[in-house]
Structure 1
Amino acid sequence: MSVDVDEAAAADLDEDNADYVTFDMLGERYAFPMRRVQEIIRMPAVVKVPLGPPSLEGLANLRGRVLPVVNLRQCCQMQQAEHDETTRVIVVDGGVPLGFVVDRVASVISIDPQALEPADAVQATVRSDVLVGVIKSGDGEMTTVLDVDRLIGSQFARLTAQRAGGGRDAAATRVPGDEDREGESDDTLELVSFAVEGQEYALPIDQVQEIVQAPESVSHVPNAGSRVLGVIDLRGRLLPVVSMRQVFGLPVTPLEPQNRIVVVSLDDSVVGVVMDTVREVLRVPHQLVAPLPSVVTGDGRATEVESVVRLEDGKRLVSVLSVNRMFDSPEVRDEIADYREDDAEMTTERAGQSDDSRGDEELFVVFRLDDEEYAVDVDTVQEIIRVPEALIRVPKSFDFVEGLVNLRGTVLPVVDLRTRLGLGRAERDERQRIVVLIIGGARTGFIVDSVAEVARVGRNVLEPAPELSAEQARVVSRVANLPDQQRMLLLVQVDQLLEASQAEVAAELCEAAVDEALAGV
Structure 2
Amino acid sequence: MSIDDEQAVEDDNADYVTFDMAGERYAFPMNRVQEIIRMPAVVKVPLGPPSLEGLANLRGRVLPVVSLRMCCDMPAAEHDETTRVIVVDGGVPLGFVVDRVASVISIDPAAMESADAVQSTVNSDVLIGVIKLDGGAMTSVLDVDRLVGSQFDRLGGKSDGRDTGAAARIAAEPDDEGDSDDTLELVSFAVEGQEYALPIDQVQEIVQAPESVSHVPNAGSRVLGVIDLRGRLLPVVSMRRVFGLPITPLEPKNRIVVVSLDGGVVGVVMDTVREVLRVPHQLVAPLPNFVAGDGRKSEVESVCRLEEGKRLVSVLSVNRMFDSPEVRNELAEHQNREETPDMAEDQRGADDGRGDEELFVVFRLDEEEYAVDVDAVQEIIRVPEALIRVPKSYDFVEGLVNLRGTVLPVVDLRTRLGLERGERDERQRIVVLIIGGVRTGFIVDSVAEVARVGRHVLEPAPELSAEQARVVSRVANLPDQKRMLLLVQVDQLLAAEQARQLEEVVAEDDLVPA
Map 1:55-134 onto structure 2 (within 5 A).
55-134=51-130
Give the root-mean-square deviation of aligned CA atoms: 2.7
Map 1:240-319 onto structure 2 (within 5 A).
none
Would the aligned equivalents of 1:8 and 1:149 in 2 still touch at CA under 8 Å?
Answer: no
1:509/1:477 CA distance change after superposition, 3 Å? same
Q: Could you tell me how far 1:349 is from its partner in structure 2?
A: 12
Find 1:144's aligned residue among 121, 140, 147.
140
Aligned position for 1:354: 347
How far does the alpha carbon of each residue in 1:319-371 deviate from its partner, in whole angstroms, 9 at most, with x for none? xxxxxxxxxxxxxxxxxxxxxxxxxxx99799599334797000000000000
Would the aligned equivalents of 1:363 and 1:456 in 2 still touch at CA under 8 Å?
Answer: yes
- Give me the identity figure in percent: 79
1:403/1:20 CA distance change after superposition, 3 Å? same
1:501/1:10 CA distance change after superposition, 3 Å? farther
Aligned position for 1:381: 377
How far does the alpha carbon of each residue in 1:79-113 deviate from its partner, in whole angstroms, 9 at most, with x for none? 11100011000000111100000011111111111
Aligned position for 2:158: 162
Q: Distance in 2 between matches of 1:447 and 1:62?
A: 32
Aligned position for 1:333: none
Aligned position for 1:504: 500
Q: Could you tell me how far 1:17 is from its partner in structure 2?
A: 2.2
Q: Which amino acid aligns with 2:374?
A: V
1:368/1:353 CA distance change after superposition, 3 Å? farther
Asked whether 1:494 is paired with 2:493, we answer: no
Q: Which amino acid aligns with 1:423?
A: L
Q: Could you tell me how far 1:8 is from its partner in structure 2?
A: 10
How far does the alpha carbon of each residue in 1:203-239 deviate from its partner, in whole angstroms, 9 at most, with x for none? xxxxxxxxxxxxxxxxxxxxxxxxxxxxxxxx99xxx
1:12/1:392 CA distance change after superposition, 3 Å? farther
Q: Distance in 1 between matches of 2:413 and 2:340?
A: 42
Q: Distance in 1 between matches of 2:102 and 2:375?
A: 51
Aligned position for 1:35: 31
Report SS of the residue matched to 1:150. Answer: helix
Map 1:118-517 onto structure 2 (within 5 A).
118-163=114-159, 165-167=160-162, 351=344, 354-355=347-348, 356=350, 360-514=356-510
1:497/1:108 CA distance change after superposition, 3 Å? same
Would the aligned equivalents of 1:22 and 1:106 in 2 still touch at CA under 8 Å?
Answer: yes
Q: Could you tell me how far 1:161 is from its partner in structure 2?
A: 2.4
Q: Distance in 2 between matches of 1:8 and 1:421?
A: 45
Find 1:16's aligned residue among 6, 12, 19.
12
1:29/1:167 CA distance change after superposition, 3 Å? same
1:357/1:409 CA distance change after superposition, 3 Å? closer
Q: Could you tell me how far 1:503 is from its partner in structure 2?
A: 0.5
1:42/1:348 CA distance change after superposition, 3 Å? farther
Q: Which amino acid aligns with 2:57?
A: N
Aligned position for 2:279: none
Asked whether 1:44 is paired with 2:40, we answer: yes
Q: Distance in 1 between matches of 2:136 and 2:460?
A: 47
Report SS of the residue matched to 2:134. Answer: coil
Q: Distance in 2 between matches of 1:465 and 1:144?
A: 32
Q: Distance in 2 between matches of 1:8 and 1:153?
A: 21
Q: Distance in 1 between matches of 2:413 and 2:109?
A: 53
Q: Distance in 2 between matches of 1:49 and 1:82?
A: 19
Q: Distance in 2 between matches of 1:453 and 1:139?
A: 61
Q: Which amino acid aligns with 2:70?
A: Q
Would the aligned equivalents of 2:6 and 2:114 in 1 still touch at CA under 8 Å?
Answer: no
Q: Which amino acid aligns with 1:504?
A: R
1:438/1:13 CA distance change after superposition, 3 Å? same
Tell me which structure has the larger Cα radius of gyration.
1
Q: Distance in 2 between matches of 1:413 and 1:35?
A: 54
1:96/1:357 CA distance change after superposition, 3 Å? farther
Report SS of the residue matched to 1:424. Answer: coil
Q: Could you tell me how far 1:409 is from its partner in structure 2?
A: 1.1
Q: Could you tell me how far 1:166 is from its partner in structure 2?
A: 3.8
Q: Could you tell me how far 1:72 is from its partner in structure 2?
A: 0.4
Normalised TM-score (structure 2):
0.62
Q: Could you tell me how far 1:464 is from its partner in structure 2?
A: 0.1
Q: Distance in 1 between matches of 2:70 and 2:144?
A: 15
Q: Could you tell me how far 1:162 is from its partner in structure 2?
A: 1.3
Would the aligned equivalents of 2:92 and 2:156 in 1 still touch at CA under 8 Å?
Answer: no
Aligned position for 2:216: none
Report SS of the residue matched to 1:83. Answer: coil
Q: Which amino acid aligns with 1:65?
A: R
How far does the alpha carbon of each residue in 1:106-139 deviate from its partner, in whole angstroms, 9 at most, with x for none? 1111111111111111111111111111100121
Q: Distance in 2 between matches of 1:57 and 1:377?
A: 26
| Paired residue total | 338
Q: Distance in 1 between matches of 2:443 and 2:3?
A: 48
1:478/1:351 CA distance change after superposition, 3 Å? same
Q: Distance in 2 between matches of 1:361 and 1:8?
A: 52
Report SS of the residue matched to 2:456. Answer: helix
Q: Which runs of 5+ in 1 are unaligned?
A: 169-234, 237-345
Would the aligned equivalents of 2:405 and 2:512 in 1 still touch at CA under 8 Å?
Answer: no
Q: Which amino acid aligns with 1:122?
A: V
Would the aligned equivalents of 2:131 and 2:138 in 1 still touch at CA under 8 Å?
Answer: yes
1:442/1:84 CA distance change after superposition, 3 Å? same
Report SS of the residue matched to 1:13. Answer: helix
Q: Which runs of 5+ in 2 are unaligned?
A: 164-229, 232-338
Q: Which amino acid aligns with 2:347?
A: S
Report SS of the residue matched to 2:504. Answer: helix
1:12/1:109 CA distance change after superposition, 3 Å? farther
